[in-house]
A and B are shown apart, each in its own frame.
Chain A
Amino acid sequence: AQSVTQLGSHVSVSEGALVLLRCNYSSSVPPYLFWYVQYPNQGLQLLLKYTTGATLVKGINGFEAEFKKSETSFHLTKPSAHMSDAAEYFCAVRAAGNKLTFGGGTRVLVKP
C-alpha cells in the first residue's frame, strides 16, 4: 500500500522568499508522483508530475520538484513566492492501478 506524508499543514512565507513544501511517500512499487494546487472554492489543478526519467521536474507557475528515491521524497519548491501562490498544495502518489493517494495538504500563506 502507498501513503503520503506532507510535513506541516500550514506554511507562511514572505513575498519573494523561497517556498519549500515537503512530501515523503511510501510505495511498494516504483511511484508516480504529483503535486496539485487548490485555490479557494476551486478544484485541484496539476502543478507537476514525475513518472520516469529526469528526477528534477519543472511545473507551472515557477514551481519545481525533485524526486529522491533514496529519501522517498518529492519536495516542491519555488525560488520566489508571489501573493498569488497562496493556496493549498497536495502531494499524491500513484502506484499500481489507477488510484491516487493524497497527502493531508499544506496551506500556504504569503505575507506582503
Chain B
Amino acid sequence: DAGVIQSPRHEVTEMGQEVTLRCKPISGHNSLFWYRQTMMRGLELLIYFNNNVPIDDSGMPEDRFSAKMPNASFSTLKIQPSEPRDSAVYFCASSASGTPVVFFGEGSRLTVL
C-alpha cells in the first residue's frame, strides 16, 4: 500500500485566497484525522471522521475551516479565506477499526503571505 497520500506537499498563497488540501487514506482504514502542526502549538487535532462521518470537529479553529469526506478514499480540508496565522503543516492520518496505530501522510506545508 502507498500509505496516506496528501496533496499538495507545499502551498504558498496570499491572504484571502481559498486553500484546499487533499487526502487519500490507506485503503480499508475507516478512521481519518486532520492535524495541524506549528512550532508554537505542536500537533493539534482539527477533525476526526469515522466511516466518512465527522465525529469530532471541536479542533477546527473557526468557520473559515471546513472538512469533508465524500467517500472512504478521499477527504479535503478547506480554508476560506486564508490568513497568515494559518501557516502550518497540515497532516492527514488514518487508522483501521480496532487498531490503535495511526498512519500519517507526509503533510502539506501551507504558507499564507
Q: Do A and B bind each other?
A: no
